[in-house]
Structure formats: structure tokens, C-alpha cells
Structure 1
Amino acid sequence: MPVSKAILEQIRLLIPPLNGTLHKGQSGRVGVLGGALDYTGAPFFAAISAQRVGVDLSHVICSPTAAGAIKSYSPDLIVHPVLRQEISPGSLRKELSGLLARLHTLIIGPGLGREQYMLDFARLALEIAKEQGMFLVLDADGLFMVGQQLDLINGYRRAVLTPNVVEFKRLSEQAGIDPKTAPEKRASSVSHALGGVTILQKGASDIISSNTEGASSVAAHEASKISAEEKEQNEVVVVDTPGGLKRCGGQGDILSGSVGAFLAWAKCYEDGAYGDKTIPVSKMPLLAATGASIVTRTTSRIAFEKEGRGVVTQDMLKEIGPAFKEVFGDEAQGSKL
């Protein structure tokens, strides 16, 4: 179904109010795990986009080979060059656990690369994040990682996967989805196969699905937190908000950072920092993905209108704020749509 007014109103409830009542950190703390020798732009774009959407703090957890470049891009980011090739993942568990405990959301994948040591650290971070009940975003090589071992994410309903066309085709095959499945039903089929994990299928229109209807693979620790009614749902949202006509590299990183921002707000909302907690946790990933999709596509359109064929991802960063205002208005919470 298209984005309804009711869905927009629910998304709005997750957005922190800008009324001076919250202290630093209560509007979201996001982490991005990625950044190796050849990839420094992607984790920067994801982390800075989360801040441009409106979280208070963004951390980048990366390799020392990427840290210097990422730090030079912006002093607003907190960079942790702890993913060292010469150490084992086990030796980093305590430090990484402490770091993730400070965050609301973890984005795994931008600039991760496919070197084995980076993938090993990403698996460790995913394991710790699940233990801590964090919201998760899996993108880029984070999707490659979970595609090799689907049980890493199967049934963890606090996660959003954001595949592009090529990544979605690969993920569908890995999940055993019949290639004859109608295109408009494939995202729902993948979500169902993965136990209700939210899928944000990027394309001409973004298709967002959270499908647990009849699913039996929901993780036990998650199933205990949700009602029977919430366990059996099949919700699909189609976001056809106009975007720019040029698809430049890095736009997906802006989307993953934006999803991370909305999920961080969802965690703050769940923890009672603001709001009346009327939205079930099981629906928050779908709402976060929808809000982020609308804002990112609007951002792309505004940047393209100004820069045309020459638009690059950096041009989009400064348009995130205006795009958010266009979609949700001046007031962060409680204003009319």
C-alpha cells in the first residue's frame, strides 16, 4: 500500500520534540561499523547523514587504515579505529560491547569491504548488538555477510535490510525465494523467509515489507516481547516519493544513515525519553524505513533540482534538513501534517 496519513502520523510520534526538554544523547546515538583501506566515503556519508536527519551523536567504528581520512571529512563524527587486522575478534569483544552499549542503533556495512578480518569483526558486532537488543541496519557488504549465513539475522525483528536491485536479487536467491514470484510480492517473501526482518527494497519505488504472517522462525527472545497479534502481520508500504533523476554512488549510504537515525529515535521512544509509547516495537523498523525512504528521496530531488547532471552525494548532505522540513514540517512532534 502507499504511504498513508496514519503511517506518517505514527512516524511523527517517533521524532524527538525540539522543545528544549531533552539532553544530549536523548535524540539518538548512532554507530556505523565500516571503513577499511579502500572505503572511507561510505561510512562518512552514513554517519553524517544520521546527524543531518537529527540524531545527537554519530560514531564510526572502523579500521585504522580508514580512520584518518574519515576524521578529516568532519569533526562532528566520533571515530573509533579499533578494527585492527592483527588482533582477533575475541580480544575485542569487551571493548566493542562497551562501545555498542552507548548506542541506540548500529549500521553495519557502509565501507565494510570483504576482507575476512572486517567480516569477522562485523559478525562479532552483529552478535553483540543482538544480545543488547539494539536496532540494526544492514547495507552493502553487511548484506553480503548475512547472505552467506542467513541465521545471523533470521528472526531478529529489530533489523532493517536495505538491498539495491543487485543485492536484492542475490538475497532473494539465498533466501530460497521462487524466481517466478511477482515483483511486488518479493520483498514480502524475503521478509517472511527471514522471520519478519524488515526489508527496504530500493528501486524506482521503494518497497518496504515486514512479514511475519505464519512465520515460525521468529527468534525466541524476540517472540517473547511481542503479542500474538503482532507476530502475525504482513505489512507492505510502497514509497513512490519523487527523487532525483541521477542515481549517484553514495545515495544508498545516505539512506542507511537515515534509517539508522529513525531507528535511534525509535529506541529512545521505546525507552521512554519522550512520547506515550503507543507504537508497538514490532512496527518501529517498518516506520523507520518508511520515514527514511521519504526523506532520502526528497533530498535527492532537491539536490538534483539545484545541481542537475553534476549532482554528487555531498550535494545531498546539505539538503537533508530542508527535505526533512518539507516532509514533516517545522515542528518535530505533534504538529499537523
Structure 2
Amino acid sequence: MPVPDHVFKQIKRIIPPLNGKLHKGQSGRVGVLGGALDYTGAPYFAAISSQRLGAELGHVICSPTAAGAIKSYSPDLIVHPILKQETSSEKLRPELSSLLERLHVLVVGPGLGREDYMQSFARLAVTIAKEQRMYLVLDADALWMVGKDIDIIKGYNKAVLTPNVMEFKRLSEAVGIDPKSEPSERASLLSKSLGGVTVLQKGPSDIISTNTSTTENANDEVETIEVDVEGGLKRCGGQGDILSGTVGAFLAWGKCYESGAFGDNSVPSERIPILASVGGSMVTRTTSKFAFRQKGRSLVTQDMLGEIGQAFQEVFGEDEQGAEVDHVKL
């Protein structure tokens, strides 16, 4: 099922042009909050993927126990080891708030873990991001946090959730979705239960839905898009982190677009989360396809990073100078 043409064209409008006219910071500043003692790869993959797609700056906000490893993976990332177990949320708030003011989007969850102090800091970060009207991506153990307290994200329509099969099942149970409901409608039902949050349900095809209706029969405010772009045949751990990073980059671009850094302001701000989700899904699946062709069964997530640029060009048909070329059929 191809992505509707009008959706594809809107996604292209929120992509910053490579014409040399943008200033530093106008192509997206992405933050990733996660990374504790046992989890250093996930926040790295999310942050570096956003940069490989084209975001200008990637920040990782993590525990000091993870910072050294993450810094060693890439000098391109800006690492903030401020999530100290001995620090209270009250003490952390001013520093975290000041940091988030410099970003366009916050990805919460990759490498977060379920330790009480990391979960507490994640809740604080989501609260501050909502106060600042930031775009949000919630994945991995941030979804476990949401399952424990739906109200942390309910009704915040600048957020995107990216659950896999098990995470989607837990969230559906948390909001009381009937397990006998039509599978193709469950993402929409979850979005509605969460007050219009965009849901990117990962699977053999990605189902992306946003639902801002408030009554049982209000279907005119439901939008569901299935992305069945070909991907690789090996599903390696970490691919979801790449998806979080690419969705985050598109959201950051959307924030720059709505602020007038580029573009024609023809795309309504409320459409940016679903457009970013579709764009991130298409690029990530294509990245997986290219990497699998190279590595086959031996594929690991690291192999995918170098394919993100080529995947973007295949999907969106843009050369290195930013001139549009024919869209390659997927």
C-alpha cells in the first residue's frame, strides 16, 4: 500500500533544503534521553541516526556511568552526563530545563532502563518538554513508563509513541482496548485512548495513526497510514533506536519549518507528528533493506548507519545539492 501522494508531498515540504542559506541550528537539534550502566548503544544509535539523516546536532542526556562509552562511539555527539543517581529531580530540573530549551525535539527511552532514578528523570524530562511545547518521541522503557501512568502523555498531540509488538500489547491492555478488535484499527484505538497522541505501531508493516476525535462515532478526525516499504529480512536489536532517531530528526525539521526557518508554511503544525512518523518509517525500512543486501544474516545495527543517507535519497529523491530528482518507486 503506497503512502498517499499528498502525504508524501507534505513530508518533503518539511525537509530543509540543502541550498546553503540556512544558519547553524536551523536543520534540527535532537536530544536523546537515555543511557545507564548497561545500556549505551541504544541512545548512541538514536542520536547518531538523527545526524546521519541530516539533523545538525545530536545531544545525549545520560547517566555518568554511560557517558564515557557513548563519547567514545562518536565525537559528533554532545554528551551530557547529568542523570546522576544521587541527584533529586528538584535539583536536576533547572539544568535539564535549560538544556531542553536549546533543542527542537526530545527522544526519550533508548537505553533508559527501569531503575527508579532513570524513570523519575524521564518523567521530569517529559513534563518539562510538555511545558516547553517540544516535540517528543517515546520508545522502549519510556513506553513502560507510559503504561504505568497514561496521564504522563495523554492528550499531548506533539508526541509520537513507537511501540513494538509487546510494547503495543502492554499499552493496549493499560487503556483497556478489546483484544478482539480489528488489528488494523488498534493503533487508531490506542491513539484515541491517549487523547490524540500519534502511534507508530511497528510490525511487518508499520501502522501509523493519529486520532483526535472525542466521541465514539467521530471518524472524520482519524488518520491511519500503513507503511509497507520493503525492509531487510533480519530484525536486529537496535533497529528501533534508528527509527526513534529518524522520526526525531523529521520532528526537529518540522519544528524548524513551523518556526519559519524555511518553507512556505503550507503544512499545518498539527500534521507534523504523523508526517515525521511516516518519513522516519520509510527511511528506516529502506535503510534496513540496503544493509541486509550487504550483510545478510550477519547484519547488526551498526551496519545500518552508513546506509541512512542512501535510503533517504531513494525515498525522497534529493541529491547532495538539494535539487529534486525523480522519486524512486519503492
Tell me which interval the TM-score lies in, with the shorter structure as reference length.
over 0.9
Q: Is the contact between residue 12 and residue 334 of structure 1 (CA under 8 Å) also seen in structure 2? A: no
**1:24 equivalent in alignment to 2:24:** yes
Name the structure 2 match of 1:220.
none
TM-score in terms of structure 2 length: 0.96
Q: Distance in 2 between matches of 1:210 and 1:200?
A: 9
Work out whether residues 317 and 324 of structure 2, in 8 Å CA contact, stay in contact via their aligned partners in 1.
no
Distance in 1, Cα, partners of 2:170 & 2:305? 29
Residue aligning to 2:129:
129
1:99-154 per-residue CA deviation (whole Å, 9 max, x = no partner) reads: 00000000000000000000000000000000000000000001001111000100
Unaligned runs of 5+ in 2: none
Which residue of structure 1 lines up, in the alignment, with residue 259 of structure 2? 271
Q: Is the 8 A contact 1:212 1:232 kept in 2?
A: no
Structure 1 position 213, deviation (Å) = 2.0
Q: Does 1:199 align with 2:187?
A: no
Would the aligned equivalents of 2:234 and 2:299 in 1 still touch at CA under 8 Å?
yes
The amino acid across from 1:155 in the alignment is G
Q: Could you tell me whether the CA contact under 8 Å between 1:30 and 1:50 is conserved in 2?
A: yes
SS at match of 2:264: coil
What's the CA shift for 1:330?
2.2
How far residue 98 of structure 1 moved from its aligned partner, in angstroms, is: 0.4
1:270 & 1:130 partners in 2: Cα distance? Answer: 17
Q: Which residue of 2 aligns with 1:327?
A: 315
Superposed, 1:42-121 pairs within 5 Å as 42-121=42-121
Are positions 1:298 and 2:301 aligned together? no
- Indicate the residue corresponding to 2:236 in structure 1: 248
Distance in 2 (alpha carbons) for counterparts of 1:333 and 1:174: 47
- Contact persistence 2:318–2:324 (CA under 8 A): no
Q: Is the 8 A contact 2:110 2:241 kept in 1?
A: yes
CA 1:307/1:336 → structure 2, altered by over 3 Å: closer, same or farther?
closer
Q: By how many angstroms is 1:215 displaced?
A: 5.3
How far residue 24 of structure 1 moved from its aligned partner, in angstroms, is 1.3
**1:12-64 CA-partner distances (Å, limit 9, x unpaired):** 00000000000111000000000000000000000000000100000000000
CA distance in 2, matches of 1:119, 1:84: 12
Residues 11/183 of structure 1: CA separation in 2 closer, same or farther (3 Å cut): same
Q: CA deviation at 1:333?
A: 7.1
Q: Is the 8 A contact 2:28 2:252 kept in 1?
A: yes
How far 1:212 sits from its partner (Å)? 1.1
Aligned-partner Cα distance in 2 for 1:333–1:213: 39
With over 3 angstroms needed to count, the CA separation of the structure-2 counterparts of 1:215 and 1:92, relative to structure 1, is farther
Do 2:32 and 2:106's aligned partners in 1 also have CA atoms closer than 8 Å? yes
Distance between the aligned counterparts of 2:18 and 2:215, measured in 1? 39
Instruction: Find the counterpart in structure 1 of residue 6 from structure 2.
Output: 6
Aligned residue identity for 1:136 = L
Q: Secondary structure at the match of 1:247?
A: coil
C-alpha separation in 1, matches of 2:323 and 2:274: 19
Show the counterpart of 1:224.
none
Q: TM-score, normalised by structure 1?
A: 0.94
Structure 1 match to 2:273 = 285
Instruction: Give the match for residue 138 of structure 1.
Output: 138
C-alpha separation between the residues in 1 aligned to 2:259 and 2:326? 25
In the alignment, the residues of structure 1 paired with residue 221 and residue 257 of structure 2 have an alpha-carbon distance, to the nearest angstrom, of 22
Q: CA contact under 8 A between 1:61 and 1:82: conserved in structure 2?
A: yes
* Cα distance per residue 1:248-280 (max 9 Å; x no partner): 000000000000000000000011100111111
Residues 35 and 61, structure 1, Cα contact 8 Å, conserved in 2: yes
Match of 1:238 among 206, 211, 226: 226
Amino acid at match of 1:56: E
1:215–1:93: structure 2 CA closer, same or farther, 3 Å change rule?
farther
Which whole-Å CA distance do the structure 1 matches of 2:275 and 2:87 have between them?
38
CA contact (8 A) 2:231 2:285 kept: yes
The residue that corresponds to 2:167 in the other structure is 167
2:253 aligned counterpart, secondary structure: helix
- Whole-angstrom CA distance in 1 between matches of 2:172 and 2:144: 12
**Identity fraction in percent:** 67
- Listed as ranges, the gaps of 5+ residues in structure 1 are 217-228
How far apart, in 2, do the equivalents of 1:330 and 1:171 lie?
37
Taking the aligned partners of 2:94 and 2:119, their CA distance within structure 1 comes to 18
